Amino acid sequence: MSDIKNMADIEIRVQSDAFAITHGYPETLNGRTDIGAVVSFTGLVRDFNEAPDVTGLSLEHYPGMTENTLHAIAEQAWQRWTLQAVRVVHRVGHLQPGDPIVRVLVASAHRRDAFQACDFIMDLLKTEAPFWKKEHAKSGDYWVKERHTDQTDAQRWSSS
């Protein structure tokens, strides 16, 4: 585990503005040469989900609790693996198919830590962070239902 953690090593953003699909990469590297691995995950809005023809998505959240929860998840990852940076950005408001909705970037000295921490953060984000999706489809609007598989994915981390 890294002994020194700067405030800048964990960055959490919840925003209605779009973010670049490279978000976090240049900011994290920024001339550093001690980083050996960067793993990032980008989630996009699909044009099919519970309905076949999704035309858009509205994302609601619980301001304050959202940021705190994401921070707590990033901190847990920091405790579990040897990491050098964690950056999470999540959009809220109105989105269209193809828009990036979430991006998690993890940097570490060795690849295994970065792979696992990124996977862990996404699993916990899906089950703990207070975001709610409402999908707009040609057949009408509906709130997205929670998925059992997301719960079982998150539980993998509590048994290991």
Partner 1 sequence: MNLTHLNAQGEAHMVDVTDKAETSREAVASGCVFMQPATLALLVEGGLPKGDVLATARIAGIQAAKRTHELIPLCHALALSKVSVDFLINHEQHCVEVSATCRLTGRTGVEMEALTAVSVACLTLYDMCKAVDKSMQIEAIRLDSKTGGKSGDYRRAGYTSEAPIVTGEGDTGEVSLRERCPTAGVRVKFLAELRERLATSESFVSLDELPTSDIAGLKAVLAQRDPRFALLNEQRTLCAINQVMANDTARITDDDEIAFFPPVTGG
Which residues of this chain interact with partner 1, rule CB under 8 A? 16, 43, 56, 58-65, 68, 90, 92-94, 101-102, 122, 125-134, 136, 138-141, 143-146
Residue 47 CB, nearest distance to partner 1 (Å)? 16
Give the residues across from 14 on adjacent strands.
90
Distance, in Å, from the CA atom of 84 to the CA atom of 74, rounded to the nearest integer, reads 12
How many distinct helices (H) and strands (E) make up the chain?
4, 8
Helices (H), the chain: 25-29, 65-80, 111-128, 148-159
Residue 33 CB, nearest distance to partner 1 (Å)? 32
Cβ neighbours around 1 below 10 Å, total: 10
Using CB atoms within 10 A of its CB, is residue 156 exposed (0-12), middle (13-18) or buried (19+)? exposed
**Identity of the residue numbered 101:** I
Residue 125 CB, nearest distance to partner 1 (Å)? 5
What letter would DSSP give residue 7? G
What letter would DSSP give residue 148? H
In this complex, which beta carbon is closest to partner 1, that of residue 8 or of residue 62? 62
Residue 65 CB, nearest distance to partner 1 (Å)? 4
Residue 87 CB, nearest distance to partner 1 (Å)? 15
